[in-house]
Structure 1
Amino acid sequence: MELEKKLNKKVVPPMHKYEGDPRKPKANTSTIKRLLSYIKKDYQGLFWIVIIAILISSAAGVIGSLFLEVLIDDYITPLLGMEHPVFTGLLKAILIMTGIYLLGVISTLIYNRLMVVISQGVLKRIRDEMFDHMQELPVKYFDTHSHGDIMSHYTNDTDTLRQMLSQSIPQVFSSVITIVAVFGAMIITNIHLTIVVILCVLLMFFISKTIAGKSSNFFIKQQRSLGETNGYIEEMINGQKVVKVFNHEEEAKKQFDVLNEELCHNATEANRFANILMPIMGNIGYLQYVLIAFVGGVLFTYDIGNVTIGAIASFLQLSRTLSMPIGQVSQQLNAIVMALAGAKRIFQLMDEKIETDGGYITLVNAKHEGGKLVETSRKTGIWAWKVPNEDGSFSYVELKGDVRFEDVVFGYNAEKVILHDINLYAEPGQKVAFVGATGAGKTTITNLINRFYEIDSGTILYDGIDIKNIRKSDLRRSLGIVLQDTNLFTGTVMENIRYGKLDATDEEVYAAAKLAKADEFINLLPQGYDTVLAGDGSGLSQGQRQLLNIARAAVADPPVMILDEATSSIDTRTESIVQKGMDALMYGRTVFVIAHRLSTVQNSDVIMVLEQGRIIERGNHEKLIEEKGKYYQLYTGAFELE
């Protein structure tokens, strides 16, 4: 009793305390600032080189345009009045001008190449963090979000980020610097012509702001629609057999057409505004060019403002240099808006609350020494819970597989309670079966043992320890589970079985396969245990896939097993073969069995009948038959499970 009190005391030593993910940025950080923080972390030096290269490239363009005035007024015009012109100075000036432009070209090449390195590195880090964070999310998140939409974060959303980081950001930065530098050069060259340019630029900005404002909202909607469409496609691919069996093709098409139409509408509206922006900007640029030539000609003709032919030519070149970056900024704004919409979706996933874990009790190998249980680094077949004490020492409790529910209440949401005051116990080595209609709460109970979900009230004890105090990874390491739905991964048969225990030897894998009665069909495969499976084991029958699933649980060799409709996908003949292996697998373990076939639970030590989240009957097969209640009705066929 003293030990139980100590085990369930909410004492969490600092060294085992979980306080969330330290990498999680503050919630009030803007998306663009958060993106730039990735560059600052790993590529700050390279990014400064990019900035310097952009400055040099922009400066080269402006200086080249200004040098045009010197070239015409100081070198070309004087030659017109010479009887024997000397081209040495002109050639030298042209070489200088060529050098300036060449420096600009080299700088542009450098920053574009570096931005590719930076953007791909940032995307790799974001994908790594997103995947790492996804592994820490609770099962509830995946139950409530479309898998296709989640996949869209890794594909469409990251692709928009790639375009923004590698193209949009450097172009916008370069354009802004160029615009500022060109304006400064224009003011120095001629204030009258600069006024003409300012009027045209104000018109450009007004049009750009109006059009970008209309398109940005549709770009955000486009990303959301894209995720929804991908999610629906993923569902249809996974359920294609069901679609065909129930002749649901036309209805599936109609639903897809609705989603596709919405995506088409949002994408069309977004790109309709985006695509008319550049032609408008280009035409305003041409209009500006004509106005500068006209006004410059008037100023030169009437000798106003000391305007020279070289100054007009230089100004015309500057105006073209100005029009291009303004157009680029306008064009890239849409790409940036779309990328930020994708980044927001990515960060929403990364900001999802991770699976909390206040557990501080761990699972270790142990051995009996001098009448006491002590920890050991080698595998002994004996497991123990390592419980930290307040004085820094540890107590050890042998893992036996005693599981108890005390007044457990649970609901997936606050509005609907699924389990009501569940009280049950499974003693070490007992086989406990759950029987009841779909939705009665059978699988929910096993999900609570794994702590996939947290209970609303009550207590679940494991060897006398509140499971809230056991670290989740260690808790789940002590449990083996065979689900109704099988999941095989791309890799060999050997690797798929070893998934249950990554350090399992080949001999342990062979033994587990023989125990599950999977060895016979594996040896008939082209490369036996080295046969590569792909597409979730699509080349195998449903029964064969389930046998591999059972073998995976067998190789883990856990003290507690959960069998959730483990043989439902296997035919009756195969089931009788597998049942022998299952009996061997279950021997000496605490086992929870969920089954619709009552033949698979008759030999259970305890059978519990659930109805609408309550245990209405409990006992072994003979006792429940004698009581002639719901189980009797199920067994005799007077009432069938749904």
Structure 2
Amino acid sequence: MLKLFRFLKPYRWIVALVLVLILLQSLCDLYLPTLMSDIVDKGVIPGDKPYIWRIGGFMLLVTAFGTIVSVAASYVSSRIATSFGRDVRSKTFKHVSKFSLQEFDKIGTASLITRTTNDINQVQQVLIMMIRLMVSAPMMCIGGLIMAVSKDATLSLIFVAAIPILALTIFIIARRGIPYFRVMQKKVDKLNLVLRENLTGMRVVRSFNRGEHESKRFEQANADLTATAVKVNQIMAFMMPMMMIILNFSSIAIIWFGGLRINSGHMEVGDLMAFLQYAMQIMFSLMMVSMMFVMVPRAAASAVRINEVLAMEPVIKEAEATADNGDEGEGVEADEQPAAPRGVVAFDQVTFRYPGAENAAVEAISFSANPGEVTAIIGGTGSGKTTLLNLMTRFYDTGEGAVTIDGIDVREVPLEQLRSLIGLVPQKAMLFTGTIADNIRFGKNDAKEEEVAHAADTAQATEFISGMPEGFNTPIAQGGTNVSGGQRQRLSIARALVRQPRIYLFDDSFSALDFKTDAKLRAALKQETADSTVIIVAQRVSTVMDADRIIVLEDGRIVGNGNHRELMASSNVYREIVASQLSEEEIA
């Protein structure tokens, strides 16, 4: 957890202010019993009423001052802790946004959500307590001991027996409970995972009547978390009763032996009352420490999980912007300035396997895609079509070989620069909360209304958008659940078109369209992308038949490369795909 405290550096002077306020509060609390002792010994017993009023008034002032600094310390420490939580969440989010798909696969989306929300909140809550209690508790304990000894050193020997017993009790209970806090956070992850799957897949769950099965999954994860929480709370529940028993026995001992010392003339009544209050302060300060023992282990487990995310280096390394990559670099002669990117994509003996997989997803892939041409990739499920697009965008890096754009390895191009060249329409059309216009502008933040309208028109989305109550200002629900699958795909295509990239990647982006819309869309795209490199991954033969080049994949290898007519003559795999989808008349 100490590693996370580096985020407190901007607030170090405010933390120092809190410590000063807590010091003043503690001094006030330690001074009050002494004033009360003076009132009893010098005011009540002799019957000196003016003295009682004078010291009593002073006690009220000390109490008021202590209350003010206590409220100020609470307010400032809360501001520090919430600012700390904000900074850590922001840092975690920015760091996670740099992760490749490999890091997401390793940690899991559900766990990342838990770590960014629940875990950071645990640390934030403990920080508020630490700023207050970790300073005031030792101060009150040590200060209380000093003041108690100053009242009666002999009677203070009671603490020699009470404090070790109290400390040992806290240690034994905390030692048994701490391991369960780490387990609890993992079970929160599991519960979050089940809940997230159930909510995002609600349509599938209902369509297959699996509601009862999912309810049992959730109940099992929930019961598992509950059982662990009950177990740890049962252990920690022993702490307070045990401490109160020790505290009460200590009070009895103080009153008993204190009474004997008053009888023998070694102690005043007021001093005994003050001594008893100092004993309470010492014991309660130890109780506050015990509360920290309850909270800190869980926060420490959360801090480990947060640090694990922050310490994880993305496998995809960011390249430095250089003139060779198309930037206007220093020290490059005018006649050596690189030309504007054309968008020639080439695969050179590319082999890639997913982490932990035995077999390669794609192997020895070599082909090129040129501007002004449509290159289609077709093949069975799991043949590696989407993997090739992931390698172009550097969602993953190649294991062997190279993917190049205009002859430059994509690993040598800064990610932002690389992806600004690409307009990707993913296999799963993902929309975000906001309006239709907002979703289209996701591809180009400063797109004008005319550009948005043109992109929507090219994507064949204008018709259904104009039929909506608010047109382009119609809100999109989370995940785009208030539009159909075909409409989501057309909006995703419009989002890619509005940025006018050099390279278009369509990952099975026409599967939800009817044949009429599909044909109209491809005709419109042909005009819009005439000067760009277009790569289409598709399942439908009708979508790829007119492509300038068709790459046929099987088990991660290229088994055919050519146009439709050439492949019908040379590729058995392609002929089988065509025969499975088209009638003999259509093939002819």
Change (3 A) 1:442 1:295: same
CA–CA separation in structure 2 for the residues paired with 1:172 and 1:617: 70
SS in 2 for 1:78: coil
What whole-Å deviation, never above 9, does each CA across 1:449-499 have from its counterpart, x for those lacking one?
111111112122211222222212111111111112111111111111111
CA–CA separation in structure 1 for the residues paired with 2:554 and 2:425: 23
What whole-Å deviation, never above 9, does each CA across 1:261-299 have from its counterpart, x for those lacking one?
321122112222223312221222111111100011122
Question: Is 1:54–2:16 an aligned residue pair?
Answer: no
Change (3 A) 1:104 1:629: same
What's the counterpart of residue 320 of structure 1?
A: 280
CA–CA separation in structure 1 for the residues paired with 2:233 and 2:34: 37
SS in 1 for 2:94: helix
Change (3 A) 1:549 1:77: same
CA–CA separation in structure 2 for the residues paired with 1:408 and 1:535: 37
1:439 to 356, 379, 382: 382
The offset of 1:212, in angstroms, is 1.1
Query: How is 1:138-537 mapped onto 2 (pairs within 5 angstroms)?
Result: 138-303=100-265, 306-354=266-314, 355-361=316-322, 385-386=326-327, 388=329, 395-413=337-355, 415-537=358-480
Change (3 A) 1:472 1:285: same
CA–CA separation in structure 2 for the residues paired with 1:313 and 1:468: 76
CA–CA separation in structure 2 for the residues paired with 1:474 and 1:48: 44
What's the counterpart of residue 71 of structure 1?
A: 39
SS in 2 for 1:455: coil
1:147/1:234 contact within 8 Å kept: no
SS in 2 for 1:209: helix
SS in 2 for 1:536: helix
CA–CA separation in structure 2 for the residues paired with 1:413 and 1:490: 33
Change (3 A) 1:57 1:282: same
Change (3 A) 1:428 1:580: closer
SS in 2 for 1:193: coil
What's the counterpart of residue 45 of structure 1?
A: 13
- Name segments (4+ residues, structure 1) moved above 4 Å: 387-394
CA–CA separation in structure 2 for the residues paired with 1:564 and 1:596: 10
Matched residue type, 1:44: R
2:155/2:257 contact within 8 Å kept: yes
CA–CA separation in structure 2 for the residues paired with 1:56 and 1:535: 51
SS in 2 for 1:409: strand
1:219/1:337 contact within 8 Å kept: yes
SS in 1 for 2:209: coil
CA–CA separation in structure 1 for the residues paired with 2:484 and 2:560: 37
Change (3 A) 1:441 1:628: closer
The offset of 1:630, in angstroms, is 0.9
Change (3 A) 1:272 1:639: farther
1:610 to 553, 557, 567: 553
Matched residue type, 2:28: A
SS in 1 for 2:231: helix
CA–CA separation in structure 1 for the residues paired with 2:15 and 2:140: 18
Matched residue type, 1:360: A
What whole-Å deviation, never above 9, does each CA across 1:543-585 have from its counterpart, x for those lacking one?
1111111111111111211110001122334323333333333
The offset of 1:188, in angstroms, is 1.4
Matched residue type, 1:563: F
1:575 to 487, 512, 518: 518
Matched residue type, 2:386: T
Task: Provide TM-score, normalisation by structure 2.
Answer: 0.94
The offset of 1:359, in angstroms, is 4.1
CA–CA separation in structure 2 for the residues paired with 1:488 and 1:207: 56
SS in 1 for 2:154: helix
What whole-Å deviation, never above 9, does each CA across 1:222-259 have from its counterpart, x for those lacking one?
11211221122111111111122223333323332332
CA–CA separation in structure 1 for the residues paired with 2:117 and 2:327: 43
CA–CA separation in structure 1 for the residues paired with 2:220 and 2:509: 38
The offset of 1:609, in angstroms, is 1.2
SS in 1 for 2:246: helix
1:435/1:607 contact within 8 Å kept: yes
1:220/1:341 contact within 8 Å kept: yes
CA–CA separation in structure 2 for the residues paired with 1:585 and 1:254: 51
Change (3 A) 1:474 1:638: closer
The offset of 1:144, in angstroms, is 3.6
Structure 1, gaps ≥5 residues long: 1-30, 80-85, 364-383
2:342/2:371 contact within 8 Å kept: yes
1:421/1:614 contact within 8 Å kept: yes
1:437/1:611 contact within 8 Å kept: yes
The offset of 1:387, in angstroms, is 6.7
The offset of 1:177, in angstroms, is 0.8
Structure 2, gaps ≥5 residues long: 584-588
The offset of 1:134, in angstroms, is 1.5
CA–CA separation in structure 1 for the residues paired with 2:69 and 2:496: 59
Change (3 A) 1:542 1:36: same
CA–CA separation in structure 1 for the residues paired with 2:4 and 2:379: 51
What's the counterpart of residue 9 of structure 1?
A: none
CA–CA separation in structure 2 for the residues paired with 1:628 and 1:58: 86
CA–CA separation in structure 2 for the residues paired with 1:638 and 1:36: 61
The offset of 1:325, in angstroms, is 1.6
SS in 1 for 2:245: helix
CA–CA separation in structure 2 for the residues paired with 1:447 and 1:573: 29
What's the counterpart of residue 586 of structure 2?
A: none
What whole-Å deviation, never above 9, does each CA across 1:289-333 have from its counterpart, x for those lacking one?
111000111222234xx2221221111111112222211211222
Q: CA RMSD in A?
A: 2.1
What whole-Å deviation, never above 9, does each CA across 1:158-191 have from its counterpart, x for those lacking one?
2212211223431232111100100111111112
1:168/1:335 contact within 8 Å kept: no
Greater shift, 405-414 or 601-610, is seen at 405-414
What whole-Å deviation, never above 9, does each CA across 1:21-79 have from its counterpart, x for those lacking one?
xxxxxxxxxx22x333222x222222111111111111111111122222222222222
Matched residues, number: 580
Query: How is 1:106-125 mapped onto 2 (pairs within 5 angstroms)?
Result: 106-125=68-87
CA–CA separation in structure 2 for the residues paired with 1:406 and 1:272: 62
What whole-Å deviation, never above 9, does each CA across 1:491-526 have from its counterpart, x for those lacking one?
111111111111111111111111111111111111
Report the identity percentage. Answer: 27
2:323/2:330 contact within 8 Å kept: no
Greater shift, 101-110 or 257-266, is seen at 257-266
